């Protein structure tokens, strides 16, 4: 029996994780659940999964949750605020901590979890984008193991040999005779939209992804392909890869979830229906395969599988992320923070879709922070970049 804590339990990945857990009462027990504001959804999950501890990062939501937990006589402890989430993640009672908080907010709790030596099932790519080296060094020091939940990284992981899988963060791709990691992406909802019309797209159309059903932030990131840029950086840290080891390929049908090409010409790929419960089940069950509830892929019903190169004039955010990746951890942290601020403004209709890349570019150009050596330094770069993004947005609107 493995005890699981789900950080970001009320979101898209959190709910899919709970659905996989629901199917395996013999394998998993929920120890802890954390979320931000969704009290009703949390109460529902407390009733079903009976966690020992829950945490809400919003103080107001935590007060409301505690009130309802008492009224309903639910036997669980309620922790308050960001500290509560971090304390739950780091209390050492869970064998597996699922990192499914969205954005930079996930970083501190995940570092706390890494210090307990647990298995980290990682969906929260922003945490790695901000702190890759420090994150893996912390995990190594405390004996924690990171397993990817992001579908592309899970596909790459599944296409790599066992000794690489056993040594994520420090593996040697050359020794494994890997020629290239082929990171696939659908190209998002605006793959075929005339570039001149992108200026006019609104938040509602941007979050209607053609293939995947996801939270609002990652849906916008998929439309700009910043998501693929963040995944490019995530892949570098997970697989200890150089920039030149990774190639981004657009694959609109999202049937192949990424590939690894080897020196002998063989290409290993992982295929399946686009449903996050597969990579979640891979991470929760590893090294065993467990059922996930995902429908089988029916090859006779598939149309063609197509591939194309990304056009950087359509996806400037992808290019900016690849440039930041070359510059280093300070740049990738600034990129991530600027993107979070820009996406939030776009979702509130305060800036245009095409302004997102402008905000990120301006923050990257003005970032002079040195390479971070601690999580506090990472968070200070993050804070500076947020301020500079907000200033730029103010000027855009002023
Ligand atoms: P979402 O918006 O649906 O859910 C986010 C969750 O995080 C919610 O439960 C929310 O309450 C919680 N949260 C936010 N701030 C918090 C805080 N400070 N403390 C505790 N909880 C907090 O997002 P999502 O689509 O599930 O994505 C979650 C993460 O997984 C993101 O990093 C995303 O990039 C990654 N991811 C998502 C998908 C997908 O298909 N949705 C695929 C791959 C990777
Ligand atoms: Mg992905």
Separation of 98 CA from ligand 1 center, angstroms? Answer: 11
The residue whose CA has the least distance to atom 41 of ligand 1 is 214
Q: Give the atom of ligand 1 at the shortest distance from the alpha carbon of 227.
A: 34
The residue whose CA has the least distance to atom 12 of ligand 1 is 8
How far apart are the C-alpha atoms of 147 and 128, rounded to whole Å? 12
Separation of 301 CA from ligand 1 center, angstroms? Answer: 32
- Judge whether 356 and 343 are in contact, CB under 8 Å: yes
The mean pLDDT of 262-285, rounded to a whole number, is: 97
Percentages (nearest 5) of helix, strand, coil residues in the chain: 50, 15, 35
Q: What is the pLDDT of residue 40?
A: 98
Picking from 338, 382, 394, the residue whose alpha carbon sits closest to that of residue 363 is 338
In this model, does residue 209 exceed pLDDT 80?
no
Region of 3 (left: φ > 0; alpha: ψ -120 to 50; beta: rest) is: beta
Q: What is the pLDDT of residue 264?
A: 98
Q: Report the 10 Å Cβ neighbour count for 397.
A: 10
- Judge whether 190 and 198 are in contact, CB under 8 Å: yes
Helix (H) / strand (E) element for 278: namely helix 277-285
- Judge whether 338 and 377 are in contact, CB under 8 Å: no
The mean pLDDT of 171-190, rounded to a whole number, is: 97
Q: Tens digits of per-residue pLDDT, 304-360?
A: 999 999 999 999 999 999 999 999 999 999 999 999 999 999 999 999 999 999 999
How far apart are the C-alpha atoms of 180 and 268, rounded to whole Å? 11
Mutate to test the pocket of ligand 1, among 81, 89, 102, 235 (most ligand atoms within 8 A of CB): 102
In this model, does residue 398 exceed pLDDT 80?
no
Share of the chain above pLDDT 90, in %: 96
State whether the beta carbon of 285 lies less than 6 angstroms from ligand 1: no
Q: Tens digits of per-residue pLDDT, 29-59?
A: 999 999 999 999 999 999 999 999 999 999 9
Separation of 244 CA from ligand 1 center, angstroms? Answer: 29
- Judge whether 36 and 97 are in contact, CB under 8 Å: no
Q: What is the chain's alpha carbon radius of gyration, rounded to the nearest angstrom?
A: 20
Mutate to test the pocket of ligand 1, among 5, 6, 9, 12 (most ligand atoms within 8 A of CB): 12
In this model, does residue 212 exceed pLDDT 80?
no
Q: Which range, of 37-41, 155-159, 322-326, 393-397, averages the lowest pLDDT?
A: 393-397
Mean pLDDT (the chain) is 96
Separation of 366 CA from ligand 1 center, angstroms? Answer: 29
State whether the beta carbon of 62 lies less than 6 angstroms from ligand 1: no
State whether the beta carbon of 154 lies less than 6 angstroms from ligand 1: no
Question: If 0-12 CB within 10 Å is exposed, 13-18 middle and 19+ buried, where does residue 220 land?
Answer: buried
State whether the beta carbon of 57 lies less than 6 angstroms from ligand 1: yes
Separation of 13 CA from ligand 1 center, angstroms? Answer: 6
Q: Give the atom of ligand 1 at the shortest distance from the alpha carbon of 213.
A: 40
Separation of 151 CA from ligand 2 center, angstroms? Answer: 5
State whether the beta carbon of 9 lies less than 6 angstroms from ligand 1: yes
Q: Tens digits of per-residue pLDDT, 85-126?
A: 999 999 999 999 999 999 999 999 999 999 999 999 999 999
Neighbours of ion ligand 2 (CB under 5 A): 150-152
- Beta strands 178-185 and 256-262 are antiparallel
Tell me which DSSP letter residue 155 carries: H
Q: What is the pLDDT of residue 87?
A: 98
Helix (H) / strand (E) element for 396: namely helix 375-397
- The residue with tokens 């590939």 is 259
Separation of 9 CA from ligand 1 center, angstroms? Answer: 8
Tell me which DSSP letter residue 308 carries: B
| pLDDT confidence bin for 211, thresholds 50/70/90 | confident
The residue whose CA has the least distance to atom 25 of ligand 1 is 215
Q: Give the atom of ligand 1 at the shortest distance from the alpha carbon of 276.
A: 40
Q: What is the pLDDT of residue 82?
A: 98
- Beta strands 256-262 and 267-271 are antiparallel
Residue 261 in tokens: 């090409």
Picking from 211, 216, 246, the residue whose alpha carbon sits closest to that of residue 229 is 246
Residue 163 in tokens: 């000794």
């Amino acid at each position: 029996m493995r005890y699981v804590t789900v950080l970001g339990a009320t979101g898209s990945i959190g709910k899919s994780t709970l659905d996989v857990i629901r199917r395996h009462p013999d394998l998993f027990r929920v120890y802890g659940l954390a979320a931000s504001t969704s009290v009703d959804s949390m109460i529902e999950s407390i009733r079903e999964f009976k966690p020992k501890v829950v945490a809400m990062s919003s103080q107001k939501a935590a007060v409301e949750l505690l009130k309802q937990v008492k009224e309903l006589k639910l036997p669980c402890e309620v922790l308050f605020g960001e500290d509560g989430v971090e304390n739950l993640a780091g209390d050492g009672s869970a064998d597996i901590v699922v990192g499914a908080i969205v954005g930079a907010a996930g970083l501190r709790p995940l570092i706390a979890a890494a210090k307990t030596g647990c298995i980290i099932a990682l969906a929260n790519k922003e945490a790695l984008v901000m702190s890759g080296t420090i994150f893996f060094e912390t995990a190594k020091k405390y004996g924690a193991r990171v397993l990817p939940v992001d579908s592309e990284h899970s596909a790459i992981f599944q296409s790599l040999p066992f000794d690489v899988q056993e040594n994520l963060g420090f593996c040697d791709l050359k020794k494994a005779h890997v020629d290239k990691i082929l990171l696939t992406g659908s190209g998002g909802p605006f793959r075929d939209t005339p570039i001149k019309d992108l200026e006019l797209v609104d938040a509602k159309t941007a979050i209607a992804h053609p293939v995947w059903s996801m939270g609002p932030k990652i849906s916008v990131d998929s439309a700009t392909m910043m998501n693929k840029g963040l995944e490019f950086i995530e892949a570098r840290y997970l697989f200890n890869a150089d920039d030149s080891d990774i190639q981004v390929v657009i694959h609109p049908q999202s049937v192949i979830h990424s590939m690894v090409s080897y020196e002998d010409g063989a290409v290993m790929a992982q295929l399946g229906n686009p449903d996050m419960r597969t990579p979640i089940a891979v991470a929760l069950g590893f090294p065993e395969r467990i059922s996930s509830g995902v429908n089988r892929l029916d090859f006779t019903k598939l149309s063609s599988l197509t591939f194309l190169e990304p056009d950087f004039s359509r996806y400037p955010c992808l290019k900016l992320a690849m440039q930041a990746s070359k510059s280093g951890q300070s740049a990738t942290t600034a990129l991530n923070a600027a993107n979070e601020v820009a996406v939030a403004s776009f979702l509130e209709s305060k800036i245009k879709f095409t302004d997102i890349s402008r905000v990120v570019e301006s923050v990257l150009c003005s970032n002079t922070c040195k390479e971070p050596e601690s999580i506090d330094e990472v968070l200070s770069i993050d804070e500076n970049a947020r301020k500079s993004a907000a200033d730029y947005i103010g000027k855009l609107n002023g």
